[in-house]
A and B are shown apart, each in its own frame.
Chain A
Amino acid sequence: MQEWIQLLIDGITIGGVYAVIALGYTLVYGVLRMINFAHGELFMMGAFTGYYTLNGFEKHSSLNDSVPVLTIAIAIVLGMVVAVTLALVMERIAYRPLRRAPRLAPLISAIGVSILLRNIMLRATNAQGKVYPKVFPRTAVEIGEIRLLYVQIFLIVLSFVFLGLLYLFIQRTKAGVAIRAVAEDRDTASLMGINVDRTIMTTFAVGAALAGAAGVVYGMFVTTATSGMGFIPGIKAFTAAVLGGIGSVPGAMAGGYFLGISEAISTKFFGAQYKDVVAFVLLVAVLIFRPWGLFGKREDKRA
């Protein structure tokens, strides 16, 4: 029983990361109908920013030991800033010129950006994985056999908080309404006085901020940053977004957790080598019964 609870916690931990990254996919897909293949790399850049920030504090001050809350907060904020800046540059250079281009052109452009970022970081770090300094004590809460690292709790809680905040942002703020309007119908939204360019940028920024922050916290959890670390979570998050119904915010969240937990459980049953098989088979199974995803809007025949 306790093993099952532990597996569930493992699943929620990684699932939360998938969910937060998936939100970026789903938001961008919502407004632009494009798969931003480079989104996972923003997560990676966040993790590196976290490393450089915390390592800087470690080397030049004692703040990591005296007020870790402060340095962690700064790292997260910087991670967000770097990811948002990159995302906006990416949008401006690689995606905006392609807004009226054939549907698959931005996809390839995004793949190009993804390869570019990965290899720039590979060269910048000379292919050495960067190890986070010890900011978070690696101690754990223990209940019987169940163990939860503090940093893990932080990661889980933070992903919940992010998801909640994003939901409020989308539902309650003016910018959120604009995003939903553009997602619904870009041309109509534009006619109704919504600045479409700015809304698209907001969308990229919000998605990137989440990915950047997630990168920092995940980096603290796994304690390393490598140039390739964004790729697999990126693909998984994309899967999660589709599973939940791409374009749907609650769908991305649910899809992320669903995927994380199913990976954990299938590891128990079949071994980790088959967890991706299970995940994708589940995806197909879900899509066969709900072709529009768990929470996606049912697209009837467009009559």
Chain B
Amino acid sequence: MAILSVRHVSRAFEGLIALNDVSMEVEAETIVGVIGPNGAGKTTLFNLLTGFYRPTSGEIWFEGKRVDGLPLHRIAAAGISRTFQNIRLFSNMTAIENVLVGSHLHLSTNIATAILRLPFTVKQEKRAVQSAVETLRFVGLAGRENELAWNLAYGEQRRLEIARALAVRPRMLLLDEPTAGMNPGESVDMIRLIRALRDDLRMTVVLIEHQMRVVMGVCEYITVLDHGEKISEGRPEDVQKDQRVIEAYLGTGALLSEGAS
């Protein structure tokens, strides 16, 4: 049963077509990779899925519910959460506060209860802190709770973004280049983390990735975009052999050299 269904979605920017009639299905509890050369429309697709953009045409369905055109917070409530290619943390807030913002939907404090600070509010808040601490530990940021986000190292910031996205408790998590700028050791950690998300938390994960080692290592299914169109999809080993994919990557060398290794 497909958790996500993208149907003939297009998006144009002032005449420039960034995404053209793309359809795709994502099965629940799978790890799906979206790849393609620069400017292929991968991030545009993510932005459409999470409501940052509205499709020019086409529909997006998530768990049997149409989500395109919904405001961002409704999409988050529907169960989709994401990270960003150029990290967008709340940089003047601490790590744990970032995660607590992620758990916004699962808390109920309003103005009145905040002022009165009723026992159940205090309890709920403590539980939220506890689970935020656990989430940070899960992504490997134990002990960094009180650090301001912009003080964290680059790799830590990526992981904090994931922690924040996890705190939303999504059923589908979109990761935009989770290993960008990481050294091989960190990338391996990240692969392990992504697997754990699916295996332990039973999440569906969609990721955009340039490092083919990561893509081939972790993804069970791959969609390839080029110039805003879907040119191929399938299991990693099939996609790798697809003539159109090889052509699209010609000159970049990325697929051949890294994929072969």
The interface of chain A, by Cβ under 8 A from chain B, is: 300-301, 303
Main secondary structure of the interface of B (DSSP, over half): helix
**CB-CB contacts of B47-75 with A at 8 A, as 1s and 0s?**
10000110000000000000000001000
Chain B residues with Cβ under 8 A from A303's Cβ? 43, 47, 52-53
- Which residues in window 44-103 of B have CB below 8 A to A? 47, 52-53, 72
In the assembled complex, the CB of A147 is this many whole angstroms from the nearest CB of chain B, namely 46
Chain A residues with Cβ under 8 A from B53's Cβ? 300-301, 303
Chain A residues with Cβ under 8 A from B43's Cβ? 303
In the assembled complex, the CB of B54 is this many whole angstroms from the nearest CB of chain A, namely 10
Tell me the total A-B contact number using a CB cutoff of 8 A. Answer: 8
CB closest residue in chain A, given B51: A301
CB closest residue in chain B, given A301: B52
A300–B53 alpha-carbon span in the complex (Å): 8
Chain A residues with Cβ under 8 A from B72's Cβ? 301
**CB-CB contacts of B10-51 with A at 8 A, as 1s and 0s?**
000000000000000000000000000000000100010000
In the assembled complex, the CB of A120 is this many whole angstroms from the nearest CB of chain B, namely 38
Given A301-B72, A303-B43, A303-B52: 5 more A-B contacts, CB < 8 Å: A300-B53, A301-B52, A301-B53, A303-B47, A303-B53
Chain B residues with Cβ under 8 A from A300's Cβ? 53
A-B contact pairs, 8 of them (CB 8 A): A300-B53, A301-B52, A301-B53, A301-B72, A303-B43, A303-B47, A303-B52, A303-B53
A301–B50 alpha-carbon span in the complex (Å): 12
A301–B72 alpha-carbon span in the complex (Å): 10
A303–B47 alpha-carbon span in the complex (Å): 7
CB closest residue in chain B, given A298: B14
In the assembled complex, the CB of B165 is this many whole angstroms from the nearest CB of chain A, namely 15
A303–B174 alpha-carbon span in the complex (Å): 14
A303–B49 alpha-carbon span in the complex (Å): 12
A258–B47 alpha-carbon span in the complex (Å): 37
A300–B43 alpha-carbon span in the complex (Å): 15
Chain A residues with Cβ under 8 A from B52's Cβ? 301, 303
In the assembled complex, the CB of A51 is this many whole angstroms from the nearest CB of chain B, namely 49
Chain B residues with Cβ under 8 A from A301's Cβ? 52-53, 72
In the assembled complex, the CB of A303 is this many whole angstroms from the nearest CB of chain B, namely 4
Chain A residues with Cβ under 8 A from B47's Cβ? 303
A301–B53 alpha-carbon span in the complex (Å): 8
In the A-B complex, the 4 residue pairs with the closest CB atoms = A303-B52, A303-B47, A301-B52, A303-B53
A303–B72 alpha-carbon span in the complex (Å): 12
A207–B75 alpha-carbon span in the complex (Å): 45
In the assembled complex, the CB of A55 is this many whole angstroms from the nearest CB of chain B, namely 54
In the assembled complex, the CB of A124 is this many whole angstroms from the nearest CB of chain B, namely 44
CB closest residue in chain A, given B44: A303
A171–B228 alpha-carbon span in the complex (Å): 33
A303–B45 alpha-carbon span in the complex (Å): 11
In the assembled complex, the CB of B56 is this many whole angstroms from the nearest CB of chain A, namely 13
In the assembled complex, the CB of A212 is this many whole angstroms from the nearest CB of chain B, namely 38
In the assembled complex, the CB of A72 is this many whole angstroms from the nearest CB of chain B, namely 46
A38–B72 alpha-carbon span in the complex (Å): 39
**CB-CB contacts of B95-132 with A at 8 A, as 1s and 0s?**
00000000000000000000000000000000000000
CB closest residue in chain B, given A300: B53
CB closest residue in chain A, given B47: A303
A207–B43 alpha-carbon span in the complex (Å): 40
In the assembled complex, the CB of A296 is this many whole angstroms from the nearest CB of chain B, namely 14
In the assembled complex, the CB of B146 is this many whole angstroms from the nearest CB of chain A, namely 23
In the assembled complex, the CB of A261 is this many whole angstroms from the nearest CB of chain B, namely 30
A303–B53 alpha-carbon span in the complex (Å): 8
- Which residues in window 137-187 of B have CB below 8 A to A? none
In the assembled complex, the CB of B73 is this many whole angstroms from the nearest CB of chain A, namely 13
In the assembled complex, the CB of B76 is this many whole angstroms from the nearest CB of chain A, namely 14
CB closest residue in chain B, given A303: B52
A303–B44 alpha-carbon span in the complex (Å): 9
In the assembled complex, the CB of B141 is this many whole angstroms from the nearest CB of chain A, namely 26
A103–B152 alpha-carbon span in the complex (Å): 24
A143–B50 alpha-carbon span in the complex (Å): 62
A300–B52 alpha-carbon span in the complex (Å): 9
CB closest residue in chain A, given B88: A302
In the assembled complex, the CB of A287 is this many whole angstroms from the nearest CB of chain B, namely 19
A303–B48 alpha-carbon span in the complex (Å): 10
CB closest residue in chain A, given B52: A303
